[in-house]
Structure formats: structure tokens, C-alpha cells
Amino acid sequence: MKNRKSAVSILAAAVLAAACASAPVTTPTLDQARADFVSANNNPQVSTYAPLEFKQASEALDQANQAAARRESLEDIDRLAYVAKQRIATAQEVAKGKAAEADIADASRQRDQVRLEARTAEAERAKREAEAAQAQAQQAQAQAASAQAQADAANQQNAALAQRAAQLEALLVDLHAVKTERGYVVTIGDVLFATDQATLNPNGMSTLRKLADVMTQNPDRTVLVEGFTDSTGSSTHNQELSQRRANAVATALGSMGVARDRISMKAYGEAFPVASNDTASNRQLNRRVEIVLSNEGAQIPPRAAMR
């Protein structure tokens, strides 16, 4: 409840500051930070599992709002708003992680209860069988122990195989990766960046976190980050934008624990379009970053030249 009151106070302060100024000062980053704050404040998991992180986010947003009220430079406002956005995102991720841990713990307790009940029932049945025929019960116990040992051995072998297969399955399902001769290709579309910018939005960062987890589980794989744009604008601008977006993705992966020597980058600008540039939707498809995850223990072949 305190967090919700704090959110109302912060947004009210922002509105009051805008009303008091002859020309309200704000930036897209500050607007997005405010929207992210409202979303986090409306998420009960945040107040339950990340109260400290949310308090820090609230304080950071308050600093950005105060800077806007004082009509400080847009650069300073943007810097403070960016810090607020990051802290809000941190609070949401911490809440999400702790909520997942709580779910896992609850599921574990339920499994333990089921196992306890199963063991109790089995013990009672064994006792009844032993009372009727002790010799027969001993033989049954020996057979059960042997079968359990064989099942455990089979389960361990199957688990190892299933784990390796699950990693690739998760990559295909969660990241919508496409298997190619060069490796798995994960596409970071234009909608995961700020418009005409190289800043990843929360959905883009979430996608990269999944890829970082895959790389952690597969240390013998590397990635090649390739940036592309549509044909709108000058070739120089497009080349620079594709470079900055590829660099943003590589930097984000590095911040998530992926060693930089496992990450390569290449910017192609408006080259290698995946669709014609005749419509807005097609141009959006061409504005992308493709992340190539190498095949196991192999290098990533260079992109084939356009024909």
C-alpha cells in the first residue's frame, strides 16, 4: 500500500511540476519511465517480493521528476530517467524471480507430501504382506529394490539426454530461433528497440536474458551479432544505426555474463533485406538484429554474398 501511495505521489508531483511550468519539460525516456513505474506499481508481485528495489526505483524516478520540474537540461533529465527505468526493470525482474522461487518451493512441498503419503501407504501394505507371509514379503522387497535401482540408472541416463535436448527445444520455442547451416538464428526485431534508436526496450532485454541463459548452459558456443536496416535514409545513417544496434545487443549480452570473447559483431546497414522496402511493414522486417548462435563446438561461417 505504501508503494502505491508513493507512486501516486510521484506521478502527482510530475503533473504538478508540469502545471506550474509555462512549458512542461519532459523526454521520451522520462515518459517511458513513468509508464513503467505505474505498471510495476500495479503488479502485486513487486510490492511483495521487491519492496526495497521498488523503493529505490521510486526515489530515482522522483529525482528525474524533480529535475524536470526544475527545467534542468534534457540530457540530465534523460540520464536520471534512464537510471529510474533501469531500477524499475530491476525491481520487476527481482519480483519475477522471487515469485518463481516461491512457486517452486510450494511445488516442492506438495511433491514431498505426495511422496510421504506414497511411502506411508507402501509401508502399510508391506507390513500386511509381511504378517501374511514373511518370506514372500522379503522376496517382493528384493525385487522392488532391484527394479528401483534399474529405474534410477535409466532415469539418470534419460535425464542427461533430456537436458541437452531441452536446451535446444527451449531455444526454438522461447526465442523463436531458426535452425540454419550457420547455427540457430534469433531475430531482435525493430519493435524491441526505441524508434530509430539503439536502445533495447524491456522485451528486447528479456529476449537477450533467455539467450544469455542458453549460452551459460552451452559454453562451447559463440554468437555473431549482425545489424540491418531498411533502405530509408542515407546509407551512412543506416550503416551507423545498424552498427549501434548490434553493439547495444552485444553490450547487453556482455552485461548478462556472456564473455566478450564469445561475442562477434557485424553491421550491414541496408544490405541483406529479408523483404522488399516497398511498404512500412516490409521495411520494419528489414530493421532488425540477427544473433547467430554457433553450432556446438563450431565456428560461425560468414554470411553468403548477395546474388
Tracing cell 515518459 back to the chain, one arrives at: 31
pTM of the model: 0.48
Per-residue pLDDT of 78-129, as tens digits, reads: 999 899 999 999 999 999 999 999 999 989 999 998 988 888 888 888 888 8
Q: For residue 118, give the amino acid letter.
A: A
**Whole-number Å distance between alpha carbons of 274 and 282:** 8
* pLDDT, averaged across the chain: 86
pLDDT by residue (tens digit) across 243-280?
Answer: 999 999 999 999 999 999 999 999 999 999 999 999 99
| 23, amino acid identity | A
Bridge partner residues of 179 (DSSP): 184
53 residue type, one letter? E
Q: Which long-range contacts (CB under 8 A, 24 or more apart) does 165-170 make?
A: 167/214, 167/217, 167/218, 170/210, 170/214
Cα-Cα-Cα-Cα torsion 301, 208, 170, 221, nearest 10 degrees, comes to 40
> Could you tell me what percent of the chain has a pLDDT over 70?
87
Q: Is it true that domain 176-293 has CATH number 3.30.1330.60?
A: yes
Q: Residue 261 has what DSSP assignment?
A: G
Give the confidence band of 165 by pLDDT, cuts at 50, 70, 90: low
